Chains A and B, each alone.
Chain A
Amino acid sequence: MKAPAFTFERAPTLGDAFDLFEAGGGEAIYLAGGHSVVPSLALRLQAPETLIDIAAIPELSGIREEAGMLRIGAMTRHAEILADPLVATHAPLLAMAAPHVAHPAIRNRGTIGGNLCHADPASEFPAVMLALEAEMEIAAPEGHRRVPARDFFVDLYETACAPGEILVALHVPVAGPATRCAFDEISRRRGDYAMIGCAVQITLEAGRIADPRVAFLSVGATPRRVPGCEAVLHDALLSAATIAKAQDALGADLDPMDDPNVPPAMRLHLARVLLGRLLGQLENDHV
Chain B
Amino acid sequence: MSEQIPLSFTLNGKPVAAFVEPRKSLADFLREDRALTATRLGCEMGTCGACLVMMDGAPAHACLVLAAQAEGAEITTLEGQSEDALMADLQAAFVDRNAAQCGFCTSGMLTTALAYVRQGGTPDRAAIRDALSGNYCRCTGYEAIVDAIAGVAEAAMHKEAAA
> Could you list which residues of chain A lie within 8 angstroms of chain B, going by C-beta atoms?
1-8, 10, 31, 34-35, 38-39, 41-43, 51, 53, 55, 79, 102-106, 108-109, 189-191
Within the complex, which residue of A39, A41, A104 is in contact with B59, where a contact is CB–CB below 8 Å? A104
Q: Tell me which of B22, B59, B115 contacts A7 (CB under 8 A).
A: B22
Interchain nearest-CB distance for B27 vs A (Å): 10
Query: A8-B68, A102-B46 given. 15 additional CB < 8 A pairs?
Result: A5-B1, A5-B21, A6-B22, A8-B5, A31-B66, A41-B23, A43-B45, A51-B22, A55-B69, A103-B135, A104-B134, A105-B59, A105-B112, A109-B55, A109-B61
Contact indicator B66/A108 (Cβ below 8 Å) = no
Output the least CB separation between A32 and chain B (Å): 10
A5-B64 CB under 8 A given contacts A104-B133, A106-B46, A191-B133: no
B157 close to chain A: CB less than 8 A: no
27 interchain pairs, CB-CB under 8 A? A2-B28, A5-B1, A7-B2, A7-B22, A8-B22, A8-B68, A10-B71, A34-B64, A34-B65, A34-B66, A35-B64, A38-B64, A38-B65, A42-B45, A51-B22, A79-B58, A103-B49, A103-B135, A104-B59, A104-B115, A104-B133, A105-B112, A106-B46, A106-B61, A109-B55, A109-B61, A109-B64
Tell me the smallest distance from the CB of B13 to a CB of chain A, in Å. 20
Give the shortest distance, in Å, between B20 (CB) and chain A (any CB).
Answer: 9
A51 / chain B contacts, CB cutoff of 8 Å: 22, 66
Of all chain A residues, the one with the shortest Cβ separation from B45 is A39
Cα distance A109–B45 when bound, in Å? 14
CB proximity to A under 8 Å, residues B19-69 = 21-23, 25, 28, 44-46, 49, 52, 55, 58-61, 63-66, 68-69
**Cβ–Cβ contact B59 & A108, under 8 A:** yes
| Of B22, B112, B131, most A-chain CB atoms within 10 Å | B22
Q: How far is the CA of A104 from the CA of B128 in the complex (A)?
A: 11
| Chain B residues within 8 Å of chain A by Cβ, number | 33
User: Closest chain B residue to A190 by CB distance?
Assistant: B133
Q: Closest Cβ of chain A: how far from B42's Cβ, in Å?
A: 11
Separation in Å of the B59 CB from the closest CB of chain A?
Answer: 4
Q: Complex formed: what's the CA distance from A53 to B5 in Å?
A: 13
Residues of A contacting B49 in the complex (Cβ-Cβ under 8 angstroms): 103, 105
On whether the beta carbons of B60 and A105 are closer than 8 Å, the reply is: yes
9 smallest CB-CB distances across A and B, nearest first, come from A103-B134, A8-B22, A3-B23, A105-B59, A108-B58, A39-B45, A5-B2, A190-B133, A1-B44
Q: How far is A105 from B52 in the complex, measured between Cα atoms in Å? A: 8
Q: A39 and B65: CB pair below 8 A?
A: no
Query: What A residues does B28 contact at CB under 8 A?
Result: 2
Within the complex, what minimum Cβ distance (angstroms) separates A106 from chain B? Answer: 6
Residues of A within 8 A of B55 (CB): 108-109
Closest chain B CB from A115 CB (angstroms): 13
B130 interface residue per 8 A CB criterion:
yes
Chain B residues whose C-beta falls within 8 Å of the C-beta of A105 in the assembled complex: 46, 49, 52, 58-61, 112, 134
> Which residues of chain A are within 8 angstroms of B115 by Cβ–Cβ distance?
104
Give A102 to B130 CA distance when docked, in angstroms.
11
Most buried by B among A4, A6, A103: A103
**Complexed CA–CA distance, A108 and B111 (Å):** 13
Q: Using Cβ atoms and an 8 Å threshold, which residues of chain A touch B112?
A: 104-105
Bound form: Cα–Cα A80–B25 in Å? 24
